[in-house]
Every structure is written in structure tokens, then in C-alpha cells.
Structure 1
Amino acid sequence: MHTIDLDLKTKFIRGFSDKTRLQIVNILKSGEKTVSQIVEAVQGNQSNISQHLACLKGCGIIVGRQEGKYIYYALRNEQILSLIQLLDEVYEQVQNEMMACDNPIME
């Protein structure tokens, strides 16, 4: 495998590695939302949420479409939704081990 492939995969996975971004992704599992709806659901500020949306979009996880003065964000496709659902399922299986893990590299 080429180094660039691993670098891009790392960037993609890093898109999921933030609490706020995971909150946004979980919100979008139920369908597209405006920035205002996402800000309200996350209870964050617009500037911070916009930065996270840009990151998720740049990582290829979400897409945005403009309709009038609103931008609607959604998960890119069904494969992303399936990946998130699979991550949730695997998490359910390993959460006890993760809670017991005190390896500082995992923080």
C-alpha cells in the first residue's frame, strides 16, 4: 500500500475523532439538517460548528447543498451511514475493554 493511501485514510478516520464531529455525524444519521439545526442540537456556537462541518466535508464524510440562504448538510451516502452504524455496533462489543484501557496513547 502506498504511503499516500495511508495518509488519506488517516485523514478520513481523523474526521471521526472529535466529540463534536461525532455529535454532528450522529445528528445527520436521521437526515439532512441546516447549520442552525445542528448548532441547536449540539448546543455549540455557530463558528465552532462551522469549522467542524468544514472538516467533515473536507474528509468526505458529509456533503452540503445550498437552498436559498440555507445550507443543508447530510451524510455523503449510504456507505457512510453503514460505516457509522458498524462503528456503533463494534463499540457496543468493545466498550468494556475501552473503559478499562489506561494506555495514555489512546487519550
Structure 2
Amino acid sequence: MKQHTANFDTKMKLIHGFSNKTRMQILECIKEEEKTVSQIIEETKGNQSNISQHLACLKGCGIIVGRNEGKYMYYSLRNQHIRDLLSMFDVVLEDVENDVACCDRHMD
């Protein structure tokens, strides 16, 4: 079956959403329950501007969703598939952790 370049480009955009330490910290932070920006900032020890930029990226990629309630915005994972994917990263990492830890070719 032939893959179209556009499919790969879209897939790479999705993977890019997971390829940043701060974004992964945010995703782990909201993996089990929705949280406000303030809660995410506190738990990740980030700053408002940086966290907001990463939340916008994750939301723009469709990885997370936001819900307004009063003056607060609550963020959560888009669905169970995203939660499963995050868990699968951990499962795969158990198998390849030593190799990944030694790999210095893909550090940004």
C-alpha cells in the first residue's frame, strides 16, 4: 500500500507535538485529570508564557482540549487514544531505554 507524502507530513506534525520536554511534562501532568493553566504551571515548574505557548501548540495539533468554566480554562487530553499513546511510550521505552539513553543523534 502506497503512503502519500501528505500523510507522512501530517504524522510528523502529530509526532512533533510529543517531541518537546515541556509538552511531554504538560501531557503527563494532565494525563489523569484536567487541570487549569495555574495548576499546570505549578506542577511543571514552568512560566506562564512558555506553558501557554506549549498549550497552544498541543491544542492546535488536536492533542489536548480546553474547557472554559468561569474565569478558568481547564485542559485535558483529547481522548483515551492520546492517553493510551502516552502509556505506550512508557511501555516501548522499557524495552529500548538503554539504547535511547545512549543515542545522541536526535537531541534538540
Q: Same fold (TM over 0.5)?
A: yes
**Is residue 2:9 matched to residue 1:7?**
yes
RMSD over aligned Cα atoms: 0.9
Please tell me the residue identity of whatever aligns with 1:7: D
- After superposition, what is the alpha-carbon deviation per residue over 1:81-107, rounded to whole angstroms, capped at 9, x for unaligned? 0011001110111111112224x3x11
Question: Which stretches in structure 2 are left out of the alignment for 5+ residues?
Answer: none
The Cα shift of 1:3 comes to: 1.3
Structure 2 residue corresponding to 1:44, chosen from 41, 46, 67? 46
Cα distance in structure 2, aligned partners of 1:60 and 1:101? 29
Letter in 2 for 1:37: Q
Runs of 4+ more than 3 Å apart: none
Counterpart amino acid of residue 8 in structure 2: L
Counterpart of 1:70? Answer: 72
Match of 2:57 in 1: 55
Q: Which residue of 2 aligns with 1:91?
A: 93
Calculate percent identity across the aligned residue pairs: 60
Number of positions where the alignment pairs a residue of Structure 1 with one of Structure 2: 105
Quick one: distance in 2 between partners of 1:44 and 1:84?
Answer: 21
Distance in 2 between residues matched to 1:3 and 1:29, nearest whole Å: 31
CA distance in structure 2 between the partners assigned to 1:34 and 1:52 by the alignment: 14
